[in-house]
Structure 1
Amino acid sequence: MDPDTIASMSPKPERPPSIQSLHSRKHEYGAINAAGTPKMTDDHDHDPPQDDDQNNNHKLQRGLSARQVQMIAVAGTIGTGLFLGTGRSLAQGGPASILICYAFIGFIVYVTLLLLGEMATQYPVAGSFNAYATRFFSPSYGFALSWNYWFNDAVSVAGDLTAAQILLQFWTDWPHTWVVSLVFWVFLVGTNAIHVKAYGELEYWLASLKVATIVIFIIVGILVNVGVNNSHEYIGGKYWRIGDAPFVGGFGGFAKVFVTASFAYGGTESLGITAGETKNPSKNMPRVVKFVFWRILIFYVVCILIVGLNVPYDYPNLSNKSTTTSPFTIVFKQIGSTAASSFMNAVILSSVLSAGNHALFAGTRVLYGLATTTPRQAPKLFSWTSKQGVPLPALFLTSSISALCFGSSFIGSGQLWGWLQNIVGVSNQIAWLSIGFASWRFRTAWIKQGRPLEELKFRARWTWGWGHHFVIFAVTCLILIQGWSSIFPTFSTVEFLSLYIEIPVMVVMTLIWLFIRRPNPNPRPTSGSSRSKRVLWFTDVVDANVVDLYRDEYEEELAPSDIIDNETRKRRLNEGKQRFFWRLYYWIV
């Protein structure tokens, strides 16, 4: 285990009396018990039910192995946004814009995941960063965030199914491509309804296919650039010097790429959601988070550079109202083999299936978390789970939103997908912003309450003091400036709404929950009267001095197989002549 990132496991000290006493009474502001989530059940966990409705509720189960969680991490960073969204980004901003924007967003995402990793390792609960924003920052804001992110996941499924229709146009002009979306929808709902292991296994193999394809693409892209192409010519940086390249559309085009890049990176933050169903999260979650940097560097920055070098921004049908073409398919097509380009398009189609599977899983768990919080933020129905630990009502409601994909028959799949991409991209940015807020208050509470940093099961040392502030500032700037082109030089109502509609929605939902719960601000009585002053403004921002830092902490209970695996891994990495090769093996795997 890496000593620089994972603190040593030590027996938990006794809780301070001030914290213990908080459990004996209901907290006035709801800061302690807001967004509380039920304990996840391991295979060996047979605790008795805690309330009446638990008799028919089997709870979520920790059924995701380390192998599956690590591949889910890859699946979260390789999806429709990379394979298909880069075409739209290249057409709107040019090769230099996409390289700069994707690299900058990648750095923000990496820091954000380190912040999330600290909290998810310490408190591996359902709902992940939504629960952390509620618990450490503000219950009303957490309520708005949770519903916004659930809608984001539901719309992501619709966007992925719409992308399937776009990709099918590569092979056929058949007007009823919506049938493919219907078939994919039935398959995804059926898979997620079986067991969390079914979801994890599907993601594992689809992600493995995508990783192999990315490696092949990088090799093919280099060959195409140096002359192994239809024209038998060296391309080099030729396409960076044509027309308006390398920056297309000026500042407006550059700003547009931020939202499409945010869409492409979307899903990485949902790694924290898998923590609630991950075996041995105190060890597996840090391992996953630590290698995100290399995945971002290889799978995004290198791929984007190759795309910008080999595909001109004005390539026919790269991005328009009716369709969008994948630059990855174009690069394979330049080899001169129809079979190669068809293979790439088929892989991208499988990535659509993977992305939809990932979004459907995450959205279902977010809705389940809303229904199991204290106080409850969604109807009780959505807290019900099957014997296999699958929250079926939450699954069915989330999947029903994907009916939006059928709207492409009337709007034009390219334009509809662009609108959905904007909505999901901004929602991803709001999620990253919220992780920054939650981490800021979590770290503040940890220090104010005097808990030693060594008790953190995972700590990103180099981000302390600035990481959360950087994420909050950078993401806020992104949200504000990326809609520049929808205002200047001409105002586009539909594009403006798709980029900014979530901001007033978040504000309104926050205020609704704040006034519904209406925390008691303890007003002072007026002089000479027993009546209290009427308070016109109040807030439910969590007090860092009293928030419970012990509730939901993961108690490490390793199964015999986990102990054997950990000892075997430690021996391989530190003993024998082959330890270098084992380190290389574990790094790759």
Structure 2
Amino acid sequence: MSIERADYSLPCEKSSAEKDSGPHVYEGEAIVYPNDGSENVIPREEETHRALSSRQLSMIALGGAIGTGLVIGTGTGLARSGPASLFMSYVVMGTVCCGVMMALGEMSTKYPSKKGFAGHATRCVDPAFGFCTALVYLCKYLITSPSEIVAGCLVIRYWNDSINSAAWVAIFIALVIVVNILGVKWFGEIEFWLSFTKIITLIGLILLALLIDLGGVPGQERLGFRYWEHGRAFKAYKTTGDLGKFLGFVNALVLALFAYIGTELIGITIGEAKNPRKTIPSAIRKTFFRIVFFYVLSSLLIGMVVDSSSPLLAQAAKKGTSGGASASPFVVAIESAGIKVLPTIINGCILIFTISGAISDQYIASRTLYGMAKDGSMPRVFTKCNSRGVPWAAFMFTSMFMGLAYLVANSDALSVFNYFVNSVTTFGGLTWTSILSSHVAFMRGMKAQGISRDTLPYKSPFQPYFTYCSLFLICFISLFKGFEAFMPWDYKLFITNYIGIPIYVIAYIGFKLIRKTKAVKIREMDLTTGAQEFHDLDEETDEERQYKSMSFKQKVIYQIKNW
């Protein structure tokens, strides 16, 4: 395959032409500086493959967010804030999550870029904004992958704590590496079934919670909304009175954010999605309904079957992920109902949650670094891909951070990784802020240039108000999430809750000063280049042709499988 005008110099090295150039415009996947027309072109061999279907995309997006934050973190939220605050927090954050997904959908179907949502930030706001967006997202997943591995080791301690955790770390790291180097086709299928297992587990837990609430367990009476009565719907946290109840709700919002983080994975998988203009809207719609069903319904039922003042719940909340299944509020409900054996089964399912999380987190980390290199903000070596479309150089670099999981061998590792969780939530909130800010600029640019929203391949409802409201809420949560650090003062909590903000700001200012980038003016925003790039993908796919030829029975089975 021929390579045209390939530039193998490090992207961090600036030419004299670049130093005097203005804002760049897009030419496909290349960056063109308008003063001299020179390009920063990635050779064609260095490309990931488009192999993820709508079925895999939507399942991975949902499965990427279903983890310990939902099945375990809800217990902490219930114990601190009460059932009403827990339920309301999941409704509010679910709404924000949908706003983020819809914003991604509009931009990604218009410009299906392998650079992900950082590419949208570069195009619509400022190259420096794209860099800081990608950097905080990369930091998030460099931390979450080893954190999931540690969580897996801690879950295993539920059965046997005599084996050195370092051995389990090595096994999990090897498993994560094998799945990722197989290529995106195998990754998509394996993650599909792991995510499918998560969903089946969650459906089972939801049905069981409903059964317990309605008095379907022998010897147990109907609960209804008993635990919401007598002033127990809202609990005060850190202080008393209405202020304490408000702080409880804010804390529940933070924990809900941690549970929802990961659904933006669609923004990274776009570069490897088949027919993105059709698969992305389909995946977003499916994810929206699944969020309503799984997250909101789970938070409601947990508050109905578990007393927020239960000693078992208080004990579970203190254990967190270190307690395995015993830390889940679902298990508290099962034990309170006198049901045996199930806690062990649920522990096995939670282990699958952590393994799946580590695999997908490593995928995201490598693709984020790859996207940054494609955008010219990281060394070009990270764009190298093998024959299976795996960005092996980026993957090798991000895989090294999984070694942090060996801290589990240290007796203080649990507290260290609890602080990491705080940082993950901060980085995740900043990522959502960037996505929504980019969408605001995108909509303003379209309006200023007289481009109708009806021309968008995917047009989300309630805009621009939905994005503005979502942006306000996520900014509020990101700024006030660390209030615990002041009650009383705890510098460790303060640092881990806010460390992402200075990294975000310094990355933006530093990149802007070094690369001398300029903010994109809304009337000069490039809203045409790249929009035609994927028209050839809009043709009818083999999957669609096969569906049309199916019998009614086959179509029903297909729809159930792809729900």
TM-score bracket relative to the smaller structure? 0.7 to 0.9
> Which residue identity is paired with 1:459?
K
1:283-317 CA distances to partner (integer Å, 9 max, x unpaired)? 11101111222111111011111122223334253
Q: Partners in 1 of 2:542 and 2:501 — Cα distance?
A: 49
- Where in structure 2 are the equivalents of 1:18-37 lying within 5 Å? 30-33=22-25, 37=29
Do the aligned partners of 1:163 and 1:417 also contact (CA within 8 Å) in 2? no
Q: Bigger CA drift: 200-209 or 551-560?
A: 551-560
Partner of 1:163: 151
1:264-295 CA distances to partner (integer Å, 9 max, x unpaired)? 11111121111110001111110111122211
Partner of 2:307: 312
- Where in structure 2 are the equivalents of 1:23-422 lying within 5 Å? 30-33=22-25, 37=29, 54=43, 57-174=45-162, 176-229=164-217, 232-240=220-228, 246-249=234-237, 250=244, 251-313=246-308, 314-315=311-312, 316-320=314-318, 323-324=322-323, 325-334=327-336, 336-373=338-375, 376-410=376-410, 412=412, 414-422=414-422
Offset of residue 568 of structure 1: 5.9
Aligned residue for 1:451, secondary structure, equals: coil
Q: Bigger CA drift: 109-118 or 510-519?
A: 510-519
1:66-113 CA distances to partner (integer Å, 9 max, x unpaired)? 221121122123122112222332233232222111110010010111
Offset of residue 173 of structure 1: 3.1
Residues 131 and 559 from structure 1, CA distance in 2 versus in 1: closer, same or farther, beyond 3 angstroms?
closer
Aligned residue for 2:87, secondary structure, equals: helix
Identity of paired residues, percent?
A: 27
Do the aligned partners of 1:260 and 1:421 also contact (CA within 8 Å) in 2? no
Do the aligned partners of 2:112 and 2:534 also contact (CA within 8 Å) in 1? no
Q: Bigger CA drift: 319-328 or 60-69?
A: 319-328
Partner of 1:551: 529
1:392-424 CA distances to partner (integer Å, 9 max, x unpaired)? 111122122222222233354553443222111
Residues 193 and 66 from structure 1, CA distance in 2 versus in 1: closer, same or farther, beyond 3 angstroms?
same
Q: Bigger CA drift: 286-295 or 404-413?
A: 404-413
Do the aligned partners of 2:86 and 2:299 also contact (CA within 8 Å) in 1? yes
1:448 equivalent to 2:448? Answer: yes
- Where in structure 2 are the equivalents of 1:453-492 lying within 5 Å? 453-460=453-460, 462-488=461-487, 490-492=488-490
Q: Partners in 1 of 2:562 and 2:218 — Cα distance?
A: 34
Count of aligned positions? 525
Q: Partners in 1 of 2:163 and 2:561 — Cα distance?
A: 46
Q: Partners in 2 of 1:259 and 1:463 — Cα distance?
A: 25
Do the aligned partners of 1:125 and 1:276 also contact (CA within 8 Å) in 2? yes
Aligned residue for 1:318, secondary structure, equals: helix
Residues 148 and 340 from structure 1, CA distance in 2 versus in 1: closer, same or farther, beyond 3 angstroms?
same
Aligned residue for 1:463, secondary structure, equals: coil
Offset of residue 26 of structure 1: 7.6
1:7-43 CA distances to partner (integer Å, 9 max, x unpaired)? xxxxxxxxxxxxxxxxxx989665334797369xxxx
Offset of residue 476 of structure 1: 1.1
Partner of 2:35: none
Aligned residue for 1:415, secondary structure, equals: helix
Unaligned segments of structure 2, at least 5 residues: 1-16, 32-38, 238-243
Offset of residue 428 of structure 1: 1.3
Residues 231 and 27 from structure 1, CA distance in 2 versus in 1: closer, same or farther, beyond 3 angstroms?
farther
Do the aligned partners of 2:206 and 2:301 also contact (CA within 8 Å) in 1? yes
1:305-360 CA distances to partner (integer Å, 9 max, x unpaired)? 11222233342531226834122333344554443221111111101111111111
Q: Partners in 2 of 1:270 and 1:35 — Cα distance?
A: 25
Q: Bigger CA drift: 314-323 or 148-157?
A: 314-323
> Which residue identity is paired with 2:24?
I
Q: Bigger CA drift: 470-479 or 549-558?
A: 549-558
Partner of 2:36: none
Q: Partners in 1 of 2:307 and 2:156 — Cα distance?
A: 23
Q: Partners in 2 of 1:370 and 1:63 — Cα distance?
A: 21
1:439-471 CA distances to partner (integer Å, 9 max, x unpaired)? 1111122222233433311111x2323122222
> Which residue identity is paired with 2:295?
Y
Do the aligned partners of 1:58 and 1:387 also contact (CA within 8 Å) in 2? no
Aligned residue for 2:43, secondary structure, equals: helix
Q: Partners in 2 of 1:348 and 1:281 — Cα distance?
A: 32
Offset of residue 501 of structure 1: 1.2
Q: Partners in 2 of 1:319 and 1:136 — Cα distance?
A: 42
Aligned residue for 1:515, secondary structure, equals: helix
Give me the CA root mean square deviation.
3.0
Unaligned segments of structure 1, at least 5 residues: 1-24, 40-49, 520-539
Aligned residue for 2:317, secondary structure, equals: coil
Residues 342 and 303 from structure 1, CA distance in 2 versus in 1: closer, same or farther, beyond 3 angstroms?
same
Aligned residue for 1:279, secondary structure, equals: coil
Residues 583 and 481 from structure 1, CA distance in 2 versus in 1: closer, same or farther, beyond 3 angstroms?
farther
Do the aligned partners of 2:146 and 2:402 also contact (CA within 8 Å) in 1? yes
Offset of residue 556 of structure 1: 2.8
- Structure-1-length-normalised TM-score: 0.82
> Which residue identity is paired with 1:585?
Q
Aligned residue for 1:317, secondary structure, equals: helix
Offset of residue 478 of structure 1: 1.1
1:178-230 CA distances to partner (integer Å, 9 max, x unpaired)? 43232111111111012111110111101111121122111111111233448
Aligned residue for 1:217, secondary structure, equals: helix
1:476-534 CA distances to partner (integer Å, 9 max, x unpaired)? 1111222222213x111111111111111111111111110124xxxxxxxxxxxxxxx
Partner of 2:559: 585
